[in-house]
Amino acid sequence: MKTTREKAFEIAQLLEDGKGGDITIIEVSALNSWTDFFVIATVTSSTHWQGLHRQVTEYAYDNDMQVHQTNRRHPDSGDDWNLIDMGAVVVHLMSRDARGFYALEELWQGGIRLR
């Protein structure tokens, strides 16, 4: 059985294979009680987001991870900041502008950056 850490790395590889940019994994388990890992990737368009979103949710279902919520920060644009909550792993698909503005890596700098 795969560990949550292994799943986070597999999701990161899946995003890389799908041309997600600047992929980062941050272990945040010591900083909160609701998730263990953030996987963050930059997307280039709403179409790119949709493809990566589909791949991540398929991975989740194939690996017995329940998708609790998917959320779009700005639903009108469809590609600014999208979140896929799988409990122990939360995936953030963000446009370059949103990634720079929200700076999750800085906000969660107390976490352990694994990639």
- Name the residue ranges covered by the structural domains of the chain: 4-113
Report whether pLDDT(77) > 70: no
Which residues does 72 contact at the CB level (< 8 Å), separation at least 6? 78, 80, 81, 82, 83
Cα angle 8, 50, 11 (rounded to 5 degrees) comes to 10
Report whether pLDDT(2) > 60: yes
Residue labelled with tokens 């502008």: 97
CATH 3.30.530.20 fits 4-113, yes or no: no
pTM: 0.90
pLDDT digits (tens, 9 = 90+) for 30-39: 999 999 999 9
Q: Which pLDDT score, from 0 to 100, does residue 75 have?
A: 45
Q: Are 29 and 108 in contact (CB under 8 A)?
A: no
Cα separations in angstroms, 86 against 64, 66, 80, 98: 10, 6, 20, 21
Residue 110: pLDDT band with limits 50, 70, 90: very high
